Amino acid sequence: MIRTEGLTKRFGRVLAVDDVALVVGEGDRYGFLGPNGSGKTTTVRMLLGLVFATSGTIELMGRPVPRQARSALTDVGALIEAPAAYGHLSARTNLTVLDAAGPGGPRRTRRRRVEDALEQVGLSGVGRRPVKAFSLGMKQRLGLAAALMRSPRLLVLDEPTNGLDPQGIREVRDVLLELNRAGTTIFLSSHLLTEVESLCTRVGVLQQGRLVVQDELTALQSPTGRVHVRTPDPDLVVGLLDGRVEHRDGDLLVVRHPDPAALADLLVRQGARLHELRPERRSLEDVVLEMTGPGSDRVGTS
């Protein structure tokens, strides 16, 4: 769906994107993470042919960009930065105009597609209210609706939950998950760790224009070698484990052990009752901070 090699962008003496090699496969939910100013939006704009790369290559939907950007973008929906709209027009009219002006679907299905897109993003009840009266969150929803009008195979989103309250963020996440289950590949650029961690299966992290990590989320969140054990018999467990308990908080114990299954077998055979036993895994925040280091504009957690 997306592949870049050596992708680089300079603005004068400023190196904004430096030798980036992205790989986004069909069906991925790819989270593109990085602090504000790390080059995420510039990269996304190059992918869509809105900004020319200084060097490197881009393939979008198997076609070279920008040379064949027009044909590649037929199957792509995008929401980049602030969504564009005519403020004096309603949401429905905006989507109708957009569909008529671009490579949209058949005219005979336009009204149904507009209604379906508004329903998907929670704007079906806005009536004739002009977009200039919308909140920032409602404008973001309208931008997402515009991206969904073509039933895209690939959806490219830059900070799509900007301005949304927690309920709105969850609703957008549910929409994206449903689209992905139906076959749409999601490429989500964000500086919010929690947003990416709760939605994405594959992650790339950009730091000062360089792609410092790219992998499956499950691979990045590897076990730490600790196991969380919740038991009504904490004293028994502490005695059995001979110094391997690193932390105790009531009935919750943090145990240093490489094999959770073997630990469970040992405790049960010795008569300990277990309410919960799970391996501790690295959080995405741990991974990102390890790769990017401390800074004044870190990737955010919420």
Shared domain for 276 and 153, answered yes or no, is no
Q: CB–CB of 111/60 below 8 Å?
A: no
Residue 231 backbone phi and psi in degrees, to 5: -145, 145
Angle in degrees, CA 57, 29, 210, rounded to 5: 40
Shared domain for 192 and 127, answered yes or no, is yes
pLDDT 10s digit of each residue in the chain, 302 long? 999 999 999 999 999 999 999 999 999 999 999 888 899 999 999 999 999 999 999 999 999 999 999 899 989 999 886 677 888 999 999 898 887 766 656 788 888 889 998 998 888 888 889 999 988 888 888 888 888 887 899 999 988 887 788 888 888 888 899 899 999 999 999 888 888 989 999 999 999 999 999 999 988 888 889 999 999 999 999 999 988 999 999 999 999 999 999 999 999 999 999 999 999 988 888 888 877 765 534 455 54
Shared domain for 159 and 234, answered yes or no, is no
Q: CB–CB of 171/184 below 8 Å?
A: no
pTM value is 0.79
Cis bond upstream, residue 166 (ω within 30): no
Residue 148 backbone phi and psi in degrees, to 5: -90, -5
CA distance 32 to 60: 16
Q: What CATH number has the domain bearing residue 249?
A: 3.30.70
Structure token digits, residue 174:
């549910």
Looking at residue 301, its pLDDT comes to 53
By residue range, what is the domain housing residue 277?
224-281
